[in-house]
Structure 1
Amino acid sequence: MRPDLAKDRQKWLRFVRFSHILWILTLITMVLGPYVRAEDAGLACPDWPLCFGHVVPPYEYRVYLEFIHRVVAGFMGLVFLGWLFYLISVPSIRRTFIRPALLAFVLLAVQILLGGATITELLNPYVVKSHLLNAILYLAVLLYIWKKGRAIVSDAPAPMAVPPRWLQTVVLVAIFFQIFLGGRVSTNLVGEVCMEFPACYVQHVEVDGEVVAKTVYFPSMHDRPYEMHMSHRYMGYTLVILVALLASWSIGTILAARNGLLLALLLVQIALGAFNVKWSLPVPVTVMHSFTAIVLFMVAWLNLLEFRYHEHDSHT
């Protein structure tokens, strides 16, 4: 640990643990969102911030799914305020993290407003997509603070052999864009436009007086529903190439195992996408598909941060 921070070591350790709890709560809140959406419960509470005019609404399955999502999000918000107060109260932590902490505060405030707007705007696709992407950015800031805090309190040396940072950045941006494309598919209800995999659909056409089945792999991208669905698939295939390249480049470096895990998670994600298509969007698979997307982003982001802050602290 840096000598100028040693006197606050216990406070720093508590802050790192506090940050860990906060991002886990955030992740739980983010997973509940796709669960609510998959169960078609997004408007189960037609008003906001109350639910049918009640603080605690009468029990009904879908109503309580949405209500529990709000309760967990509210609890996470209270934990965030406690975390922010602790950060501000310790001068050495405040000097290090005040800017990203304020950014997290702004993102959380925007997230709350977008959460209300998803209800008042009747699940407008643009609002719902913005709600998802803003949550990803908020989680990214919390992970940045947690990861850097861990690096500061540890005495681990800076990793020497690492894959190129530019390639890790490209993979991270591609994953974020893929989450955007997935949100576009979900919010515009085009997940079942293509009911085959890896093809899009089977078309029955008449040839020489006989009806034959024609497998369509590349539907017209001028048709907006097909464009939205297939863009998500094509980006998934592109990600496999990028992550495979990153995993190969990582062999012999400190990130070999985790970039290998990233590739494995991506293949699982594609399999979940295929099951979604084949089984007509079953709720457990849809939720796992969304959860795995978030985990992919987290792993890619943490890998990018893995050596950066060790390296930074070694020169401080």
Structure 2
Amino acid sequence: MKAVRAVSLANTAVMLLAVLWGAWVTSSDSGDGCGASWPLCKGTFMPDWDYAAIVEFGHRVVSALAGLLSVAVLVWVARVRPSETRLKRLAFGTFFFVVLQGGLGAAAVLRPQPDLVMALHFGFSLLCFTFALLVTVALGQGERAAFQRPDVSAQPVAPGLRTQIWGLAVYTYLVVYLGAYVRHLGASMACTGWPLCNGELIPPLYGPVGANFAHRLGAALAVVLVLRLWWTARRLTERDDLRRGAAWALALMAAQVASGALFPLGYLNLLTQLLHTGLITGFWGVLSYLCYLTLPVGRETAAVSA
């Protein structure tokens, strides 16, 4: 079982690397680095390398490695834990979204896609990371006990808290999609200054400025919702895993907003964009873990815990 967990953990790490590398591709405008050629680069495996080609082809290599690891985890889980339906579904979800992500990436190379479609690329990459992370969590049920006290680990999640967690997850995904759209649109600097946009409280609500401003408003509301979740977790549950997860979500959201504020203040560069991507990925990972904890404990999981 340790070997399966090690491979799953490696898969999660590679998924995270793929997310960050994808942000590098977008931030450096390297999406066309290999030309209209896929899976080869400029029609060959060893082209004349330049910066854009190295960045783009490197992302393909990392994504391919993630795909291979996903297949290995799926096959291994099916053989080692054939009776655990939830675990197998998570492993299949990892494989499914890696294939979907690869297909979308290939389509973007072979036939240019509009910004609204390309923004889905980042959203799907987060789902790849999510399922890989949850497979690792599910494989290590003993790790879950480390975040809980024995006397409260079996407590059910209050319906109000569960609703907030899942509602926040859906809303966050929409805000993340909007942020990816802003990046693909090239509108990261459409609003200068912070918190005002181009010196205005309410700028024109159309075009690049409107998209950027909408993302700001979405992020502001997300902060309010995360703060509410943290407060609700403190009031409605004694479970350390939920309380700690909500606290981490609040801290990461605050850091995410701060990193986003660097862009309009004149600090838009590769490092700050990768920081922004890394923080939202970490926040999404914590939020996905909280969603996982709200799922009812099935008989198969209870048997493993016992």
| Shared fold (TM-score, shorter chain, > 0.5) | yes
Shift of 1:309: 5.8
Question: C-alpha root-mean-square deviation of aligned residues, in Å?
Answer: 2.5
Q: Which moved more, 1:270-279 or 1:77-86?
A: 77-86
Partner-residue secondary structure (3-state), 1:272: helix
Count of residues in correspondence between the two structures = 291
Shift of 1:253: 3.9
Q: Which runs of 4+ in 1 moved over 4 A?
A: 93-96, 152-157, 309-312
TM-score normalised over the length of structure 1 = 0.83
Q: Which residue of 1 aligns with 2:223?
A: 240
Query: Counterpart of 1:278 in 2: which secondary structure?
Result: coil
**How far did residue 121 of structure 1 move?**
2.8
What is the CA–CA distance in structure 2 between the aligned matches of 1:242 and 1:127, rounded to whole Å? 27
Contact 1:41 1:63 in 2 (8 A): yes
1:256 to 217, 232, 243: 243
**Unaligned ranges ≥5, structure 1:** 1-10, 202-214
Which residue is 2:69 aligned to? 79
Q: Give the Cα separation in 2 of the matches to 1:245 and 1:307.
A: 17
Shift of 1:18: 2.2
Structure 1 counterpart SS, 2:194: coil
Matches within 5 A, 1:209-248: 215-221=199-205, 223-248=206-231
Indicate conservation of the 8 Å contact 2:191/2:209, yes or no: yes
Q: Which of 13, 20, 26 is the matching residue for 1:24?
A: 13
Structure 2 unaligned residues grouped into runs of 5+: none
Q: CA deviation at 1:114?
A: 0.6
Distance 1:309 1:146 in 2: 18
Give 2:30's aligned amino acid: A
CA distance in 2, matches of 1:104, 1:314: 23
Structure 1, residues 213-267: CA drift from partner, whole Å, max 9, x if none?
A: xx3111132x232221111000111011111111112225413233222112111
Matched, 1:166 2:163: yes
Match of 1:212 in 2: none
After superposition, the Cα gap between the structure-2 partners of 1:37 and 1:153, relative to the gap in structure 1 and judged at 3 Å, is: closer
The structure that has the greater radius of gyration is 1
Tell me which protein shows more strand as a share of its residues.
Answer: 1
Say whether 1:302 aligns with 2:289: yes
| Stretch deviating more after TM superposition (40-49 or 153-162) | 153-162
8 Å contact kept, 1:43–1:122: no
Aligned residues: percent identity?
Answer: 22
What is the distance in 1 between the residues matched to 2:135 and 2:64? 21
Distance 2:255 2:87 in 1: 35
Give 3-state SS (helix, strand or coil) of 1:54's partner: coil
For each residue in 1:125-146, what CA deviation from the matched residue of structure 2 results, as whole angstroms up to 9, or x when unmatched?
1332122122222222223332
Contact 1:19 1:142 in 2 (8 A): yes
The two structures have a TM-score, normalised by structure 2, of 0.86
Q: 1:32-181 alignment to 2 at 5 Å?
A: 32-46=21-35, 47-90=37-80, 92=82, 95=85, 97-122=87-112, 124-151=114-141, 157=150, 158-160=153-155, 164-181=161-178
The structure-2 alpha-carbon separation of the partners of 1:266 and 1:272, relative to structure 1 and needing over 3 Å to count, comes to same
Listed one character per residue, the Cα deviations across residues 45-82 of structure 1 (whole Å, up to 9, x for unaligned) are 11211111121222322211111111111122122222
Whole-angstrom CA distance in 2 between matches of 1:32 and 1:247:
31
Residues in 2 aligned to 1:315 and 1:93: alpha-carbon distance in whole angstroms: 11
Q: Which residue of 1 aligns with 2:268?
A: 281
Distance (Å, rounded) in 2 between the aligned partners of 1:132 and 1:219: 27
Cα separation, 2, equivalents of 1:132 and 1:195: 24
| Superimposed CA distance per residue, residues 90-142 of structure 1 (whole angstroms, 9 cap, x where no aligned partner) | 35366553334333333222111111112223353133212212222222222
Report the secondary structure of 2:140's partner residue: helix
The CA deviation at 1:160 is 3.0
